[in-house]
Structure 1
């Protein structure tokens, strides 16, 4: 079995710095690809907040996430994992609502998954 990549102090510092720049799905993808092995504690909470902000404040960009997930299917699990109980209940409710009422064409499966995890995290 492959050894899990260890998060060095240098990687953790870089991952922590990336958290403040999660303003697009491509940035989320870069963070996941480069620093997914550092996704723990404070960094994980920052990733969750960045992902929530993209979903709540920039829902219209969801198709960009869909394109990235098609290229890198493991990104979907990363995004879904970050819709969690560390997020504000109002954000979770909004994500759930948007997933149900404003799903972009062709994104039904992703919207369903987003709505499901947001609902579970909010309870």
Structure 2
């Protein structure tokens, strides 16, 4: 086989591999958020009034965590932290069973939140951390501080 044929064959094979990779990429990174899933996830955001519901939403619709849905998740997480701080041990217990919940919660302590809420999260983390929750409180305080900058 001469060099030109060899080059063209290589380019065709590389193109086919790239096309296959792009076709399968969503599957490699998880589920694709269908319109039906997005609608259900958006509806669920309004009912995230406990850490167990946040965890259930992550497990069922975590692949839809973008845009308005992500902002709703952030607000729900802020409300739980600011208004129901005493439930932090429940969050800790769920994180032990589902470690990805921790990164989900921390990711949602972000610049979309009200600065007063971010300040309260940082203050509660520093001054009212429940026993045994030190590492989580430090992570929450760090996330709130970063979001306020």
TM range (shorter): over 0.9
Which structure 2 residues correspond to residues 9-28 of structure 1 after superposition, within 5 A? 9-28=35-54
Over alpha carbons, which structure has the higher Rg? 2
Q: CA RMSD in A?
A: 0.9
Partner of 2:18: none
Q: Aligned equivalents of 1:56 and 1:82: distance in 2?
A: 13
Uncovered stretches (5+) of structure 2, i.e. residues with no partner: 1-24
* TM-score (structure 2 length as normaliser): 0.81
Higher helix share: 2
Unaligned runs of 5+ in 1: none
Matched, 1:4 2:4: no
Greater length-normalized contact order (CA 8 Å, ≥ 6 residues apart): 1
Offset of 1:4 from its aligned partner? 2.3
CA distance in 2, matches of 1:82, 1:18: 16
Instruction: Give the total of aligned pairs.
Output: 123
Alignment of 1:47-86 (within 5 A): 47-86=73-112
Which consecutive aligned stretches of 4+ in structure 1 deviate over 4 angstroms post-superposition?
none
- Deviations along 1:37-72, one digit per CA (max 9) or x if unpaired, are 000000000000000000000000000000000000
Give the TM-score normalised by the residue count of structure 1: 0.98
